[in-house]
Amino acid sequence: MGSLKLRTLVLGLAWLCWPGGPVSCQEFGDGDVNPANLSLVASPPPAAGQEFRIAAGEEFEFELTAQLETRFEGRWGVQGFAVSVVHDCDVLEITGATQDGTDTAEAFPLAFERTETVENETGCGFVCSVVLSLTQPVTLPPEGVFSLARADYRVRPVFGDAGEVSTTIEYRDGLRGSAQPVNNIITWRGITIVPLASSFSIKLVSAEVFLRGDFDGGGVLDISDAVASIGYLFLGSRAPGCLDAADTNDDGRLDLADPIFCLDFLFRGGASPPEPFPLRGPDPTEDELPCSLPEA
């Protein structure tokens, strides 16, 4: 529900049943329509191809939000939930998990809430359990997308010769924090439902860093870069240390348009070079130009 204030539903109905002793557990087969789906959303979002491009030596962090989408009929929504989210301990480090700032945290009252990070024999990740109320029939709205919990991750320095590694964060039953193992379930009208669960897979790519337009590798963009570019293109002069950096206008090609773009920016008030500029960084766009910078 984004930043919108979560509207809780206090139902004027007779009390039916509350989590702690569910009357049944409902699982859905291939032919059934499951009214609940768990997913994971990253911030910042990965680039095309589900990639995070990470510069050498960069300490890269991202946040993941556990979300629940429900499509219940009638006035009843979710009364409580438990989630168990795991990751590869060798690739990622979880630095924190919280229920603060989520849609469900805005529901009133929260009778019970427990969120904790886990790193033990059952795996690495976090668990979160919430019951909205023990004394009133309070539920989430029956339909919508709701954030349940947030976790912060740091990428470990794991790149090998290939320069990339793939990893998956997923909902997996059985992660145990300080109490009993946690399964991924929701409670609706006193019934325990096992929701569908979507995993989050990403590719972590080690990326070269450079300054856009810095043809000669001097660390700044100036007229010498335009001169060096023209020399390379038409006079057989030295090639740039980083072809991607020499692509000043970021069109994926090295041609006369690049030194012209540089001169327009420097002396005619033209457009600024695309990222990475004015600071060095990885290329946020995909192209075929390689980059290998000399030692700083």
Mean pLDDT of the chain: 84
Half-sphere exposure of 182 (CA within 13 A, CB side): 28
Q: 214-221: long-range contacts at Cβ-Cβ below 8 A with a sequence spacing of 24 or more?
A: 214/242, 214/245, 215/240, 215/245, 215/246, 215/248, 216/240, 217/241, 217/242, 217/245, 217/293, 217/294, 219/280, 219/296, 221/262, 221/265, 221/266, 221/273, 221/277, 221/278
CA distance 148 to 85: 12
Of residues 164 and 72, which shows the higher confidence score? Answer: 72
Asked if residue 163 has pLDDT above 80, the reply is no
Task: Tell me the per-residue pLDDT of 251-272, one tens digit each, with 9 for 90 and over.
Answer: 989 999 999 999 999 999 999 9
Closest residue by Cα to residue 59 from 92, 98, 96: 92
Phi first, then psi, for residue 234 (nearest 5°) are: -125, -15
Asked if residue 4 has pLDDT above 60, the reply is no
Q: Are 163 and 205 in contact (CB under 8 A)?
A: yes
Q: Are 269 and 186 in contact (CB under 8 A)?
A: no
User: Residue 11: which pLDDT band, with cuts at 50, 70 and 90?
Assistant: very low
pLDDT score at 293: 43
Asked if residue 150 has pLDDT above 70, the reply is yes
Of residues 132 and 164, which shows the higher confidence score? Answer: 132
Could you state, in order of their start, the residue ranges of all structural domains in the chain? 18-207, 208-296
Of residues 161 and 243, which shows the higher confidence score? Answer: 243
pLDDT score at 296: 40
Asked if residue 139 has pLDDT above 60, the reply is yes
CATH 2.60.40.680 fits 18-207, yes or no: yes
H helix intervals, 100-246: 223-234, 243-246
Of 111-125, 133-147, 148-162, 164-178, give the lowest mean pLDDT range.
148-162
Task: Tell me the per-residue pLDDT of 44-94, one tens digit each, with 9 for 90 and over.
Answer: 988 776 878 777 667 889 999 999 999 998 888 999 999 999 999 999 999
Of residues 137 and 144, which shows the higher confidence score? Answer: 144
Average pLDDT for 117-126:
97
pLDDT score at 2: 41
Task: Tell me the per-residue pLDDT of 15-35, one tens digit each, with 9 for 90 and over.
Answer: 333 333 333 456 555 556 789
Task: Tell me the per-residue pLDDT of 166-205, one tens digit each, with 9 for 90 and over.
Answer: 899 999 999 999 999 999 999 998 889 999 999 999 988 7
**Global pTM value:** 0.69
pLDDT score at 10: 40
Query: Among 3.30.470.20, 3.40.47.10, 1.10.8.60, 1.10.1330.10, what is the CATH number of 208-296?
Result: 1.10.1330.10
- Let me know if the fold of 18-207 is the same as that of 208-296: no
Task: Tell me the per-residue pLDDT of 273-295, one tens digit each, with 9 for 90 and over.
Answer: 999 899 887 787 777 787 764 44
pLDDT score at 281: 78
